[in-house]
Amino acid sequence: MNPMFKQARWNENVIFDLGEPGRRGHVLPRAEDEIIQAVGSVDKLIPANMLRTSQPKLPELSEVEVVRHFIRLSEMNYGVDSGFYPLGSCTMKYNPKINDQLAGLPSLGMLNPYQDESTVQGILKILYKLELWLAEITGTYEVCLQPAAGAHSELLGTLLMREYHKMNNALEKRTEVIIPDSAHGTNPASAAMAGFNVVVVPSDDNGCVGLGALKAAVSERTAGLMLTNPNTLGVFEKNIDEIAKVVHEAGGLLYYDGANLNPLLCKARPGDMGFDIVHINIHKTFSTPHGGGGPGAGPVGVSKDLAKFLPVPRVSFDGNRYSLDYDRPYSIGKIKSFYGNVGVLLRAYAYILSMGREGLKEAAEIAVLNANYLVQKLKEIRGLALPYDGKKPRKHECVFSAKLLKNETGVSALNVAKRLLDYGMHAPTVYFPLIVDEALMIEPTETVEKEELDRFVEVMRKISEEAYTNSETVLNAPHNTAVSRLDEVKASHPRTIALSWRMHQKKSKQNP
């Protein structure tokens, strides 16, 4: 199998080097002459010291130049629609086109969040129903749609922990949040932002939370535990009952990191397992496009005891009319403006309708089937190993170690990742979770056909072969992408760092 993929290489200039002075790409409406005559010149309306005296140095391009520039850039990018994207923990499932179309409707786009409730009944109904469905799916009492992303939900979740302990006059002593060493980096970062100290519990030989270690870690200082289940190895924390008991008996709350919710859709619910706070990554589990990093949406579901602390406003329904309820005296307030990333949430609403309850369950099951199929096939590849109880079924993802491959050939997980790009496949997540050496974290999702999984296995086998016979090709990869291997150190080095065009120009003058 030869790499058949060749990404476009446009060698496209930075936009500041394109165009000609005087060109314009768009003309916006101008004020009517009568208005200008009545009001006079803007130079006179603005106090002299606040008037901009030199125009911003933006590029000057015609409409067609702008279009070609960005189309070329898009051709040097790779999305789920381009091909297989097994980026572990990111659930890069197919993003249905109908959802984008609906989210682009002016009947949503042209709504101001402060409009009179009588003029926004349609969107309020959608948000209200989405909250109910997400509560049903997660097994929680009430869901809030405000957070903009998973990490934002974690911030909200840890703020809720704070508020809960504060109400119990226990915040002063409840200063610690326990986090497994296999957790996403956002967990400790969020807990720290909410003012907690982070206590890390090591995983046991099965890659799960060690019960002994957990028992040793909990104390009267414990505010809560943040847990991903299935965890980042793709393994279900089967001692969840015991874990919940230990944390609750210590007086802590249990937080569910929803990054890995996909395999549990309509199969099992975090709320039933004792989780008090559950977040959902709409841009993972509910199929909304990641947009090169965002926008996402991160609804948070909570148990009955915590519902009163949720941010305002809450969408409410009196049987006749939907409204926004700010009258929540115990609410923590707000974590962003308005009500959440509605443009993203609407897509999730449409997705749930397209899937239906049986389809969501099927999605979970096939995501798990696909991951275990890959486990079975990839295990046979030279240089790869499946650490932590290889016999145990994985859920939606699996983590292989390329440590042996590296020791025997010098080809690292990073090299494997870069070489995969040459074959027109996105790389898995690499070097995460931290408890696996040379980690390759692979999440196929349910939206990939068996033939593509087989191709991926074939490519991995080929890369392993190349590593043992012709490692240079792998070590120097990628070859077929828009650019060859980049110097990432240079991008952050004090002498060469250029974070904007003007900074680059300044640097170029300093070190020609």
Contact 364, 264 (CB under 8 A): yes
Among residue numbers 7 through 36, which ones bind another protein (CB under 8 A)?
A: 7, 11-12, 14-16, 19, 23-32, 34-36
Please report how close the Cβ of residue 168 comes to another protein at its closest, in angstroms. 17
> Contact between 4 and another protein (CB under 8 A)?
no
What angle (nearest 5°) sits at the alpha carbon of residue 449, between those of residues 448 and 452? 90
Provide the token pair at 400.
């292989």
The continuous run of DSSP H or E covering 44 comes out as: helix 42-45
> Contact between 461 and another protein (CB under 8 A)?
no
Candidate residues 78, 141, 317, 468; the one interacting with another protein per rule CB under 8 A:
78
Among residue numbers 91 through 150, which ones bind another protein (CB under 8 A)?
A: 92-96, 98, 100-116, 118-123, 125-126, 133, 136-137, 148-150
DSSP 66-106: HHHHHHHHHHT---TTTS---BTTS------HHHHHHHT-H
In angstroms, rounded to a whole number, what is the distance separating the alpha carbons of residues 198 and 179?
Answer: 7
User: Which residue reads 């279009």 in tokens?
Assistant: 67
- Segment contacting another protein (CB under 8 A): 61-69, 209-217, 219-227, 302-310? 61-69
For another protein, which is the closer residue by CB, 385 or 498? Answer: 498
Provide the token pair at 473.
């090709």
In angstroms, rounded to a whole number, what is the distance separating the alpha carbons of residues 350 and 6?
Answer: 35
> Contact between 301 and another protein (CB under 8 A)?
no
> Contact between 6 and another protein (CB under 8 A)?
no
Please report how close the Cβ of residue 213 comes to another protein at its closest, in angstroms. 18
Candidate residues 1, 77, 212, 380; the one interacting with another protein per rule CB under 8 A:
77
> Contact between 60 and another protein (CB under 8 A)?
yes
Among the listed residues 426, 503, 413, the one whose alpha carbon sits nearest the alpha carbon of residue 463: 413
- Segment contacting another protein (CB under 8 A): 46-54, 212-220, 397-405, 461-469? 46-54
Among residue numbers 318 through 357, which ones bind another protein (CB under 8 A)?
A: 332-344, 346, 349-350, 352-357
Provide the token pair at 222.
């414990």
Contact 278, 272 (CB under 8 A): no
Q: Give me the half-sphere count of Cα atoms (radius 13 Å) on the Cβ side of residue 74.
A: 9
Among residue numbers 375 through 394, which ones bind another protein (CB under 8 A)?
A: 376-377, 392-394
> Contact between 494 and another protein (CB under 8 A)?
yes
For another protein, which is the closer residue by CB, 469 or 503? Answer: 503
Contact 321, 330 (CB under 8 A): no
376: CB partners within 8 A, 6+ apart? none
Among residue numbers 462 through 481, which ones bind another protein (CB under 8 A)?
A: 478, 481
Candidate residues 3, 84, 85, 224; the one interacting with another protein per rule CB under 8 A:
85
Phi, psi of 384 (to 5 degrees): -105, 145
For another protein, which is the closer residue by CB, 216 or 434? Answer: 434
In angstroms, rounded to a whole number, what is the distance separating the alpha carbons of residues 71 and 216?
Answer: 56
> Contact between 151 and another protein (CB under 8 A)?
yes
Candidate residues 188, 207, 210, 258; the one interacting with another protein per rule CB under 8 A:
188
> Contact between 506 and another protein (CB under 8 A)?
yes
Candidate residues 73, 170, 404, 457; the one interacting with another protein per rule CB under 8 A:
73
In angstroms, rounded to a whole number, what is the distance separating the alpha carbons of residues 356 and 362?
Answer: 10
Among residue numbers 164 through 183, which ones bind another protein (CB under 8 A)?
A: none
Instruction: Give the dihedral sign, CA 208/210/214/217.
Output: negative
In angstroms, rounded to a whole number, what is the distance separating the alpha carbons of residues 446 and 326?
Answer: 40
Candidate residues 6, 304, 379, 450; the one interacting with another protein per rule CB under 8 A:
450
Q: In a 3-state reduction of DSSP, which class is residue 316?
A: strand
Please report how close the Cβ of residue 408 comes to another protein at its closest, in angstroms. 24
3-state secondary structure 208-228: CECHHHHHHHCCCCEEEEEEE
For another protein, which is the closer residue by CB, 1 or 71? Answer: 71
Candidate residues 292, 319, 329, 512; the one interacting with another protein per rule CB under 8 A:
292
Burial of 49 (0-12, 13-18, 19+ CB in 10 A): exposed
- Segment contacting another protein (CB under 8 A): 210-218, 245-253, 290-298, 458-466? 290-298
Please report how close the Cβ of residue 246 comes to another protein at its closest, in angstroms. 16
Provide the token pair at 246.
């230990």
Please report how close the Cβ of residue 142 comes to another protein at its closest, in angstroms. 15
For another protein, which is the closer residue by CB, 265 or 307? Answer: 265
Among residue numbers 205 through 264, which ones bind another protein (CB under 8 A)?
A: 235-236, 238, 240-241
User: Cβ–Cβ contacts within 10 Å for residue 494, how many?
Assistant: 5
For another protein, which is the closer residue by CB, 16 or 468? Answer: 16
| Number of residues this chain uses to bind another protein (CB under 8 A) | 211
Site string for another protein, 398-417 (x = CB under 8 A): -------------------x
Candidate residues 315, 363, 378, 405; the one interacting with another protein per rule CB under 8 A:
363
In angstroms, rounded to a whole number, what is the distance separating the alpha carbons of residues 328 and 232?
Answer: 36
Please report how close the Cβ of residue 41 comes to another protein at its closest, in angstroms. 8
Contact 448, 370 (CB under 8 A): yes
